[in-house]
Chains A and B, each alone.
Chain A
Amino acid sequence: QVQLKESGPGLVAPSQSLSITCTVSGFSLTGYGVNWVRQPPGKGLEWLGMIWGDGSTDYNSALKSRLSISKDNSKSQVFLKMNSLQTDDTAMYYCARGGNWFAYWGQGTLVTVSA
Chain B
Amino acid sequence: DIQMTQSSSYLSVSLGGRVTITCKASDHINNWLAWYQQKPGNAPRLLISGATSLETGVPSRFSGSGSGKDYTLSITSLQTEDVATYYCQQYWSTPPTFGGGTKLEIK
What residues make up the interface of A, taking CB atoms closer than 8 Å to B?
A: 44-47, 58, 60-61, 94, 96, 100-103, 105-108
Contact = CB atoms under 8 A, between A and B. Distances in A.
Interface residues of B, number: 21
Contact of B46 (A45, A61, A102): A102
Contacts of A45: 36, 44, 87, 89, 98, 101
A101 B87 contact: no
Given A100-B32, A101-B49, A102-B44, A60 B101 contact: no
B43 A105 contact: yes
Looking at chain B's contact residues, is the secondary structure mostly helix, strand, loop, or mixed? loop
B43 A107 contact: yes
A44 B101 contact: yes
Given A44-B101, A45-B87, A45-B98, A101 B46 contact: yes
Nearest to B33: A101
Contacts of A106: 43
Looking at chain A's contact residues, is the secondary structure mostly helix, strand, loop, or mixed? loop
B34 interface: yes
19 contacts: A44-B99, A45-B44, A45-B87, A45-B89, A45-B101, A47-B96, A58-B94, A58-B95, A61-B95, A94-B43, A100-B49, A100-B91, A101-B49, A101-B91, A102-B34, A102-B44, A103-B49, A105-B43, A108-B43
A44 B34 contact: no
B27 interface: no
Nearest to B91: A100
B97 interface: yes
B100 interface: yes
B34 A47 contact: no
Given A94-B43, A100-B96, A102-B46, 10 more contacts: A44-B87, A44-B100, A44-B101, A61-B1, A101-B46, A102-B34, A102-B44, A102-B89, A105-B43, A105-B45
